[in-house]
Amino acid sequence: MLEINEQILSAIKKSNNILIAFRKNYNGDSIGSALSLYLFLKTMDKNIDMVCDNFQAEDKFQFLDNIEKINSNIKKEKTFTINLNTSKTDLDSLRYEQKENSIDIIIEPKTGYFEKNDVKVSSSLIKYDLIFVLDSQDLESLGKIFEDNANFFYNTPIVNIDHHPGNESFGQINLVNLTASSTSEIVFSLLKEINSPTTLNEKQAESLLTGIIDCTNSFKSLAVTPKTLTDVASLIDLGADREHIIKNLYQIYSVDNLKLWGRVLARLKENENKELVWSLVTSEDFAKTNTSKNHLVGVIDELIINMPKIKLVALFYQEKDKEVKVIIKNKNKVDLMSVLSKYNPVGDNLMATVSIPDKGLIDSEKEITEILKNAIAE
């Protein structure tokens, strides 16, 4: 049996149109691993698209090359394919005749003849023949990308690359390494195995190092290993600029963003043992700071980095005339998807979002924080 890396290379070689998808609740690791893989596949003359449900890149990731090529939905092209079995006789000529309401396709064999059974027809809305799913523990983590195209995912070969505990090994090929610091670290190892490390360019190295730094909170995570640091050194040797990445990830915040953070921090609450912290954001907060829900993930990340005892962070927010939603980020200590199952959470065990219909911020706060407190105590 072929090694996993060889299986992946074989699948790539057999494919022409490849889709790279990553989880809706993305982070820099999701983006960095996707961009580096995209650049590699481009060198193999493949047609590549990248997709993430409702993708809007945060400001801190805008410095990455090709980030504008990440789409928020799958491109669909209606195609009708006629397949002719030529194992019995070769094709001599192919032509068509346009009629008023039809087209005749005339196929002539070199010798012998073709039969009806030699012809198959098929139609498709989606053109891809291979899918890479990155940094996602299950297909549901992809959000509407999977929900709206389930048959496509079930009928197309999937390469699943991830580092999260609880990955469901949903791919035909599964490259899942729970000891890796990040999916970017796994992708770097893959690219070194199936391609000479010296052929990796500066842009690929920058994307991968961005992924590792963001996923490990600038190497503060316990998931960082000696191999991680060796890979980081290799990426810097390949041209990745660590200081440039750090500056973009952690030092570029607009005044509006900082004003929103101030409001969040002013309302910050914690449980008795300081393992759960949460805050509330109103529609007025968004309006007065000229921000949106997309700016909240950065606040959560900063809390995770600077409050080491935290196990869970929850931000309750409400946009104008919309229901309350809660973003919960987990240090992998709680089975979030199970604990929140009655709310149909979107995301995964590391970060999930739930909606609370027919309740205001205060009532939602009481309900969800009680659940989270009990989950931590168990």
177 close to 183: Cβ distance less than 8 angstroms: no
Distance between CA atoms of residues 222 and 308, nearest Å: 11
351 close to 329: Cβ distance less than 8 angstroms: yes
Higher pLDDT, 347 or 241: 241
Distance between CA atoms of residues 136 and 158, nearest Å: 12
Residue 288: predicted pLDDT: 94
pLDDT for 2 beyond 70 = no
Q: pLDDT per residue over 260-281, tens digit each?
A: 989 999 999 999 888 999 999 9
Residue 234: predicted pLDDT: 95
Mean pLDDT of 136-141: 92
Q: What is the CA radius of gyration of the chain?
A: 24
Distance between CA atoms of residues 207 and 194, nearest Å: 18
pLDDT for 258 beyond 70 = yes
Question: CA of 129: how far to CAs of 124, 141, 154, 290, in Å?
Answer: 11, 21, 12, 42
Question: Around Cβ 49, how many Cβ atoms within 10 Å?
Answer: 17
pLDDT for 287 beyond 60 = yes
Highest mean predicted confidence (pLDDT) among 17-26, 83-92, 93-102: 17-26
Residue 364: predicted pLDDT: 95
DSSP 268: -
pLDDT for 1 beyond 60 = no
CB contact burial 216-241 (16+ within 10 A = b; e otherwise): bbbeebebbeeebeebbebbeebebe
Beta-strand relationship, 346-347 and 351-356 = antiparallel
Residue 123: predicted pLDDT: 66
Residue 183: predicted pLDDT: 97
316 close to 309: Cβ distance less than 8 angstroms: no
pLDDT for 218 beyond 70 = yes
Residue 297: partners with Cβ closer than 8 Å, 6 or more residues away: 27, 58, 327, 351
Residue whose token pair is 């410095």: 63
Mean pLDDT of 202-223: 91
pLDDT for 33 beyond 80 = yes
Q: pLDDT per residue over 322-378, tens digit each?
A: 899 999 988 767 888 889 999 988 877 778 899 998 899 999 999 999 999 999 887
Distance between CA atoms of residues 92 and 329, nearest Å: 62
pLDDT for 124 beyond 60 = yes
Mean pLDDT of 144-152: 93
Confidence of residue 196 (pLDDT cuts 50, 70, 90): low
On whether the pTM is more than 0.85, the answer is no
Mean pLDDT of the chain: 90
pLDDT above 70 covers what percent of the chain? 97
Cα three-residue angle 197-203-209, rounded to 5 degrees: 75
pLDDT for 173 beyond 60 = yes
Residue 84: partners with Cβ closer than 8 Å, 6 or more residues away: 91, 107, 114, 118, 119
How far is residue 258 CA from its own chain's centroid?
27
Half-sphere exposure in the Cβ direction for 161 (13 Å, CA): 28
Residue 100: predicted pLDDT: 83
Angle formed by the axes of helices 183-194 and 28-43, to 10°? 20
What domains are defined for the chain? 4-75+127-249 (3.90.1640.10), 79-124 (no CATH), 255-377 (3.10.310.30)
Burial of 182 (0-12, 13-18, 19+ CB in 10 A): buried
Residue 99: predicted pLDDT: 85
Distance between CA atoms of residues 186 and 227, nearest Å: 11
